[in-house]
A = this chain, B = another copy of it.
């Protein structure tokens, strides 16, 4: 699992996915960073190298990195490379996003008369229990 965890499985992009490639790359690395698989300060693969690994265009990887930088996951230095930024409040940010999506789902369910509690049970959630 080591190499997989570190993103070294060649070409994990799904070309059938409706999401654009640059977004798949962005999401992938956001997850790796949030999980701590990539540590703060660690160097990212270079734009060109990752592009080759994924058999995609450097511009596409560039766009993904720019997005990751904008969202505070990376910083890039011309001539040196791209690096994982120290945690900051990335976790809090992600947590808020998840809470938001969760809220939307529960609201949708109630609107059409579905009991949220039952919905939760259906997807394996158990109240008052360790869930894992």
Query: Which residues of A are in contact with B by a Cβ distance under 8 Å?
Result: 15-16, 18, 20, 31, 34-35, 70, 75, 77-80, 83, 85, 91, 94-95, 98-103, 105-106, 108-114, 116-117, 119-120, 122-125, 127-128, 131-132
Contact = CB atoms under 8 A, between A and B. Distances in A.
Contact of A20 (B79, B85, B124): B79
A108 B98 contact: yes
A70 B18 CA distance: 13
A108 B94 CA distance: 10
B103 A124 contact: yes
A114 B127 contact: no
A112 B131 contact: no
Contacts of A94: 112, 114
